[in-house]
Structure 1
Amino acid sequence: MRTPLLLLLWAFAPHLFGQTNVYMNLMQAAQTRTSAHGASVHAAISDGNDAILSGKVPVEDLHRGGHKVIGGISDDPEQLHDLVRAGIDGYITDRPDILIDVLQKEISLAKTAEEKRRLKDFDVEAHRGGRGLRPENTLPSFENGLDLGVTTLEMDTGVSADNVAIVWHDEYFDSKMCRRVDGRPYDANDHFWIRDKSAAEIQQQLICDKTPFSTTQQSDVSLSPVSVAFARKEHLANPYSPVTIDQIFRFVRFYASYYRSGPGREDRLAKERAAEGERVRFDLETKLIPDFLPSEDGKLERTKNHTAEPKAFVQALCPAILRNHMQERSEVQSFDFRTLKLVEEQFPFLPTYYLTSNPKLLQFQTEVGMGL
């Protein structure tokens, strides 16, 4: 969309799109797109704690329309109890172990069979694999999420120079979390941009095993035997080497076989872990933002994206889901609604999750019609 058109839409947005509930509008528009392509999947809303607890997100109305509501991101047990009781369908958390404990307590307090079913079906999403426990978006973080029995592994994706979907949150590999394989200095002045390197270059040069997030993060590889075995099989430099989406899908299958018939088959939790690897879901985020956003004074300003375009994100991610036969276990989420519209039009059988917790992004994109 060209800048002049964006400016025009931004100026006249209140008159063009009205003041009806933005969440319902987003979901209705998404449903129209997928239905037009013969699919019956329903999009979902993923928002922050305040919007859910205040009632700003119309949870019951969205449910009546067949849309899920996912919350995030808190690790405070008291707040998690309140959020679960608000009727949401799932929650993205850095500490899935805490959320699982909260759910067990809520199930013990449930007074009806219907409420117990809802709580047992609650979607526990390990944010970046559960970054409160392991370095984020790494094989060991996802292994730990699987060990805990989460419903969904949540992760971020970028696009490499050779158009491969890479699992990482930022546009570049931050020195606070990563180091060079060869031991050369890698500091805050180094920006190893995903867009500028091939997937092979990224994996050959970086290890992301630092633990800056919290004192509960652990990177001892002895805690991650499946990651160690898989890294060896894939010829990765380290279990904490950056990975691709294809490798994530292979890893989860490897995890299941590791406990079903491999070295972990005698583990006391082998049966449960094998089953976990065979059923866990994937919440895959396209990590980019719109090219323009309003400044503090309301003027549109170009953002400093150093990522691929929306089309490249969709073409790198969605075919990977298909070729690994994971379309029944995956959804695509984003703060950038352009990618979600492309998914709904080109891969309408994949559920889309609209990340709406950034007020500026939500207001701008809906008022200029990006998600409508």
Structure 2
Amino acid sequence: MKKHLASIAFISLACLSAFAQKATQKFPKFDTEAHRGGRGLMPENTIPAMLNAIDLGVTTLEMDTHITADGKVILSHDDTLNPLFTLTPDGKEMSKDEAHKQALLKMNYADIAKFDVGSKPYSKFPEQKKVKVHIPLLEAVIDSVQQYLKAKGKPQVYYNIETKSKPGGDNIYHPAPAEFVKQLMEVIERKEIIHYVIIQSFDKRTIQFLHKKYPQVKTAYLVDIQKSVNEYVTELGYKPYIISPAYKLVTANMIQQCHAQGIKIVPWTVNTSEEIAALKALGVDGIISDYPDLLEK
């Protein structure tokens, strides 16, 4: 009986320890983020890109999300199909006009998944490996990543998930903020990754709503206009976990201002070794890059 009780106690302690570790998932000391999964090397916002980034040792997978007509959360930077790297279901190229008529919010996921977003050469990223692949569901990305981490014995990564929205696009290209956040968080909570998620956006409305509704979730404010850190915080109405500026906006003073307020600074999108080294020397807390292979050098 004593042995039985001791076994129960041991199992209980182990479960509590695992829960505590999960609940206190530490943010990386220096955050290396694969932008859109590392689109310099693999087709952007796809499962192969995310798994490749894991192999390269990044601490965070950065990705963009949209919502489909049938309420699915998918990975895509663009509001519509992108003709620069998308082929039709029968393998043909798309004109700009044809592609831009295909708003993802107006399409069901089954139809979106028929398009190939990895086979067409993408001149902006000549080193990108060509793989026939489709726009994935966020939940499929999470499942694939978590299974891959376990199979490879890799440490848990963070997910930095952007809500692709702007005030003029509500109910045209994306749901209004409350609905967008609701659908995104349903996936995050169901997949139990809330302890290692950051939600980022240029659209302050989505992260403001998220901060009120889910204050335990880390948020990042994406910015591309030079202002003081106090101005960013004031317009947002709270202190985000991260301020994520276009990298050319970063100065030693901006970093000092962020750190003085307990805010991390993780700039985007930094694609040369020289710029990465310079920003590290200034004291940023992480870097987002299309070339995750450069981040570990």
The TM-score by the shorter chain falls in which range? 0.5 to 0.7
Match of 1:186 in 2: 94
Shift of 1:303: 9.7
Map of 2:141 onto structure 1: 248
CA distance in 2, matches of 1:135, 1:306: 22
Match of 2:128 among 210, 214, 217: 217
Partner of 1:74: none
For structure 2, list consecutive stretches of 5 or more residues without a partner in the other structure. Answer: 1-22, 239-297
Distance 1:134 1:175, change over 3 A: same
Residue 364 of structure 1 and its aligned partner are, at CA, apart by 10
**3-state secondary structure, aligned to 1:140:** helix
- Return the alpha-carbon distance in structure 1 between the equivalents of residues 230 and 104 of structure 2: 29
The answer to whether the 8 Å contact 2:177/2:205 transfers is yes
Contact 1:159 1:312 (C-alpha < 8 Å) held by counterparts: no
Q: Following the alignment from structure 1 to structure 2, what is the Cα–Cα distance between the partners of residues 256 and 332?
A: 21
User: 2-side partners of 1:319 and 1:168: how far apart?
Assistant: 18
Pick closer, same or farther for the CA change 1:280–1:370 going to 2, 3 Å.
closer
Deviations 1:241-267 (Å, cap 9, x if unpaired)? 10111111111123135xx3xxxxxxx
Which residue of structure 1 lines up, in the alignment, with residue 264 of structure 2?
none
Of 148, 157, 162, 1:280 maps to: 157
1:366 CA displacement: 7.4
Measured on the aligned residues, the alpha-carbon RMSD in Å equals 2.9
8 Å Cα contact 2:91/2:116 also seen in 1:
no
Distance apart, 1:288 and its partner CA = 1.1
Q: Please list, as runs of the form range in 1=range in 2, the aligned pairs for 1:270-309 lying within 5 A after superposition.
A: 273-276=152-155, 279-291=156-168, 306-309=173-176
1:126–1:150 CA contact under 8 A, matched in 2: yes
| Unaligned runs of at least 5 residues, structure 1 | 1-40, 42-88, 91-120, 222-237, 261-272, 292-301
Question: Which string of whole-angstrom CA distances, capped at 9 and with x for unpartnered residues, describes residues 35-81 of structure 1?
Answer: xxxxxx9xxxxxxxxxxxxxxxxxxxxxxxxxxxxxxxxxxxxxxxx
Question: How many matched pairs?
Answer: 209
Q: Residues 101-112 of structure 1 correspond to what in structure 2 (within 5 A)?
A: none
Structure 2 match to 1:167: 75
CA deviations 1:125-168 (Å, max 9, x no partner) are 00000111112111121111011010000000011111221100
- Work out the percentage of aligned pairs sharing the same amino acid: 32
Distance (Å, rounded) in 2 between the aligned partners of 1:171 and 1:251: 24
**Quick one: distance in 1 between partners of 2:232 and 2:34?**
27
SS in structure 2 opposite 1:201? helix
**Counterpart position of 2:112:** 202
Task: Decide whether the 8 Å contact of 2:105 with 2:172 is kept in 1.
Answer: no
* Aligned equivalents of 1:366, 1:304: Cα separation in 2: 28
SS in 2 for 1:214: coil
The match for 2:49 among 141, 153, 156 is: 141
8 A contact 2:167–2:203 mirrored in 1: yes
Q: Which residue of 2 aligns with 1:49?
A: none
Tell me which residue corresponds to 1:323: 190
Residue 18 of structure 1 corresponds to which residue in structure 2? none
For 2:34 and 2:211, locate their aligned partners in 1 and report how far apart those are by CA, in whole Å. Answer: 25
